Amino acid sequence: MSSGPFKEHVATVASISRYDSQGEDRTGASYRSQLHQSQNVTYDFSIDGGAIANHNLELKYAIPAGALVYASTMYATTTVTSGGALTGTVGVVAAGDLNAAAATIAQVNAGWHEPRVGAVAPVVTTAETTNVIFTIAAAAATAGVVYVNIEYLLPGDA
């Protein structure tokens, strides 16, 4: 388990059920259980550098193909600094796919949360992934440590 500010939940409980209107008798009485999971990765300027680029942060466990990623949180445990107006995004299938808009340096330092409910649809992984893509844009980072938490549901057949 992670030692950061977020606790990981990995295959612990069947906490969310999905309504399946195409059950055997098509009465709508069928349910499939799915597992809620979350994982943390860390961006650390002293290890990962601060270049304007996509930084691939390795997950402890692979997120399987077909997982529904519905939330991400970035939280700076060491203040992120930059020579300009740094922005950051998080992705699992493509760079920035978990963000409606890039987070500013002030948002990351304050603890930024981007829920996947509302105007932007959740991301469904097309293939198993072992990385989170942390993208630095607009200006390079000069210091900082950011914990990134990804929350998702396993596919129904996992």
Region at 115 (left for phi over 0; alpha for psi -120 to 50; beta for the rest): beta
Please, which pLDDT band fits residue 12 given cuts at 50, 70 and 90? very low
89-120 per-position pLDDT tens digit: 999 999 999 888 888 999 989 888 765 554 46
Tokens of 61: 């466990």
CATH annotation of 39-153 = 2.60.120
pLDDT digits (tens, 9 = 90+) for 33-87: 458 899 999 999 999 999 999 999 999 999 999 999 988 888 899 999 999 999 9
How many H helices and E strands in the chain? 2, 11
Two structure tokens written together for 41: 């990765």
Domain ranges for the chain, please list them. 39-153
Closest CA to 4 of 89, 73, 82: 73
Distances in Å between the Cα of 34 and the Cα atoms of 24, 82, 88, 109 are 19, 41, 30, 33
